[in-house]
Amino acid sequence: MENQGKIREGIKADIQQLKEQMSQSLEALNALQSPGDSCAQRPQQRVPKTQTFPSYDLPPNYTPPSEMDLRHLNAQKSQRGHS
């Protein structure tokens, strides 16, 4: 019986400690959510710098042909050559 009482007291102490930790966590979350609080600074998102590449005298929005396009063009050329 004494052992059960000690176990209960240990569990109660653990529960109390968890309650305190939860309340501290909730306070921290509330501080982050309140916009007027100057102590809690929100992390700023970094916007990646856009990288520009040289145009190499190509027209704007030029997309080079894909491998499938090249195979199609080669097939057309070979058909014209045999006609």
**4 or 38, higher pLDDT:** 4
Number of domains in the chain: 1
Backbone φ and ψ for 56, nearest 5 degrees, come out as 55, 35
How confident is the model at residue 50, as a pLDDT? 76
* Rounded mean pLDDT, 59-64: 80
Query: 9 by DSSP, 3-state: which?
Result: helix
How confident is the model at residue 52, as a pLDDT? 74
Q: Which residue has the tokens 């653990």?
A: 14
Predicted confidence (pLDDT) at residue 73 exceeds the cutoff of 90: no
How confident is the model at residue 23, as a pLDDT? 93
pTM, two decimal places: 0.38
Per-residue pLDDT reduced to its tens digit, 12-52:
999 999 999 999 999 999 888 876 655 556 567 777 777 77
Alpha carbons 44 and 41: distance in angstroms, whole number: 9
Torsion of CA 20, 22, 24, 30, to 10 degrees: -150
How many Å from the N-terminal Cα to the C-terminal Cα in the chain?
102
Query: 37 by DSSP, 3-state: which?
Result: coil
